[in-house]
Amino acid sequence: MDDLYREVIIEHYKNPSYRGKLDPHDISFADNNPLCGDHIQIDLRVGTDGLVTDARFDGHGCAISQASADLLMESIIGKPLEEVKKLNKDSILEMLGIDLGPVRLKCALLSLKVLKAGVYGLGEASDSLVE
């Protein structure tokens, strides 16, 4: 089963569906993982009803960080911001479908950290946002 999930990760890394920038956007935030150099920027468009109408990410990094960002963008389109705020570490791990060690976990959670910092309108992203 892990092989299937690894294939999904590689596919999202090599052929991301949600890579790019949104202009105009309603929410934009970027951050990096200083340990490995991964960088993610997330742009969102949000309707007047509070639903995410479009989402894109841009950046660079390892397959795990980039694939998790693509999977995350796919999962939030059409959802209300209040539901997006409830996403957590387990949400990302379920999307990826594989066990990760502590170092790779930081890579996987970078996009969620950036997303939540943007949604909450924070000036700085914090690891506590992903728990």
Q: Is the pTM of this model over 0.85?
A: yes
DSSP3 helix / strand / coil % (the chain, rounded to 5) = 45, 20, 35
What's the confidence (pLDDT) of residue 18?
97
Per-residue pLDDT of the chain (131 residues; tens, 9 = 90+): 456 558 888 899 999 999 999 999 999 999 998 888 899 999 999 999 999 999 999 999 999 999 999 999 999 999 999 999 999 999 999 998 888 888 888 999 999 999 999 999 865 555 666 66
What's the confidence (pLDDT) of residue 126?
59
What's the confidence (pLDDT) of residue 34?
84
CATH architecture group of domain 2-121: Alpha-Beta Complex (3.90)
What's the confidence (pLDDT) of residue 127?
62
What's the confidence (pLDDT) of residue 21?
96
Q: CA 82 to CA 59: how far, in whole Å?
A: 25
Q: Where are the beta strands (DSSP E) in the chain?
A: 27-32, 39-46, 52-60
Classify the phi-psi angles of 64: left when phi > 0, otherwise alpha if psi is within -120 to 50, otherwise beta. Answer: alpha
Sequence spans of domains, the chain: 2-121
Residue at token pair 């950290």? 113
What's the confidence (pLDDT) of residue 1?
45
Alpha-carbon separation of residue 86 from 27, 54, 81, 91, 95 (angstroms) = 17, 18, 9, 9, 15
| Strands 27-32 and 39-46, bridge-based pairing | antiparallel
What's the confidence (pLDDT) of residue 130?
64
Tokens matching residue 47: 């309707």
What's the confidence (pLDDT) of residue 43?
97
